[in-house]
Amino acid sequence: MRTIMAKTPHDSSFSSSSSRRHFQWRKKKDEEKEEREESLSFNSSSLLNCEDIKIGAPTTASAPRKKIGAGATVAALRIRSVLTGFAAKARWHLSSGLGNRVTGTLFGYRRGHVHFAFQDDPKTGPALLIELATPTSGLVREMASGLVRIALECDRTVEKKGVRLLDEPLWRTYCNGKKCGFAMKRECGPAEWKVLKAVGPVSMGAGVLPGNGAGSEGELMYMRARFERVIGSRDSEAFYMMNPDGNGGPELSIYLLRV
């Protein structure tokens, strides 16, 4: 009986400690199993997110795609605006009948006023012909300094909306910063066309043509060269005389501004 009683507590303590050890082992295995399941679920979710990103599913990882799309939209709008500007400039070239390189002729009788004409083709009529209030002799003196800048200004008004800059009829004239009266746009008449045809074979240079006889305004002086046309906007253009030698010749620039 004692043996039985003595054995029983031993057995009970052993069984309880054994059960505790067994429980702890089972608990540890269960925790490891749960951790493995969590890691598997995490990996599967990560793979799922990667697959969603590849196929473009609406997940949180696709947020950068929206930013890239917005940036691409802004870039597309900028490119479109640039192309629109190029197209507008191309329309200005075509509508005015002038390209980037034009033939410019300054001419006038010695006791008369200066005219200048711009032609896209020397065999055709001028796309722009303007008579300045500047005397021819005065322009010759300015040309002797080696640098001449002629600025023509007109007013920008609401009534003139849609009017091309080269179609403006009246201009304020400045020569090397000094006001020189007004300039007017002219139509190419028989007298002007006769001068342009006479100097047609000249690609670049200056000279004198005989006058119209007694009582005329003297000899006709001319200067002819190629000009580079630069369009700044609808309200600004410039013509720069091109000197093929690069040195030794006068510099002449003509600016058309609507202010």
Angle made by CA atoms 169, 222, 96, in degrees to the nearest 5 = 35
> 230: pLDDT confidence band, cut at 50, 70 and 90?
very high
Q: How many structural domains are present in the chain?
A: 2
**Both 165 and 203 in a single domain?**
yes
pLDDT at 158: 82
Q: Give the residue-averaged pLDDT of 4-33.
A: 46
Distance CA 236, CA 244 (A): 25
Distance CA 136, CA 240 (A): 20
Whether residue 44 has pLDDT greater than 80: no
Smallest Cα–Cα separation from 240: which of 224, 256, 250, 251? Answer: 251
What is the DSSP annotation of 68-120?
A: HHHHHHHHHHHHHHHHHHHHHHHHHHHHHT--SEEEEEEEEETTSEEEEEEES
Q: Give the residue-averaged pLDDT of 22-43.
A: 49
What percentage of the chain carries pLDDT values higher than 70?
A: 59
* Boundary residue ending a domain (36, 64, 94): 94
* Boundary residue ending a domain (94, 128, 157): 94
pLDDT at 215: 54
Lowest mean per-residue pLDDT among 23-27, 144-148, 220-224 = 23-27
Phi, psi for 157 (deg, rounded to 5): -130, 165
What percentage of the chain carries pLDDT values higher than 90?
A: 45
Q: For 160-206, how does the pLDDT look when each residue is reduced to its tens digit (9 = 90+)?
A: 788 999 999 999 999 999 999 999 999 999 999 999 999 999 999 99
**Both 118 and 88 in a single domain?**
no
pLDDT at 78: 65
**Both 62 and 175 in a single domain?**
no
Distance CA 242, CA 239 (A): 9
Distance CA 225, CA 251 (A): 11
**Both 68 and 194 in a single domain?**
no
Contact 23, 31 (CB under 8 A): no
Q: For 45-71, how does the pLDDT look when each residue is reduced to its tens digit (9 = 90+)?
A: 443 343 443 434 444 444 454 444 566
* Boundary residue ending a domain (94, 110, 145): 94
pLDDT at 246: 62
**Both 129 and 25 in a single domain?**
no
**Both 126 and 191 in a single domain?**
yes
Q: Give the residue-averaged pLDDT of 104-121.
A: 94
pLDDT at 98: 84
**3-state SS class at 226:** strand
pTM of the model: 0.62
Q: Give the residue-averaged pLDDT of 18-23.
A: 43
Q: Could you list the residue range(s) of the whole structural domain that residue 7 is in? A: 2-94
Q: Which two tokens stand for residue 123?
A: 């065999």
> 17: pLDDT confidence band, cut at 50, 70 and 90?
very low
**Both 69 and 140 in a single domain?**
no
In Å, how far are 47, 125, 164, 183 from 240, measured between CA atoms?
A: 66, 20, 20, 19
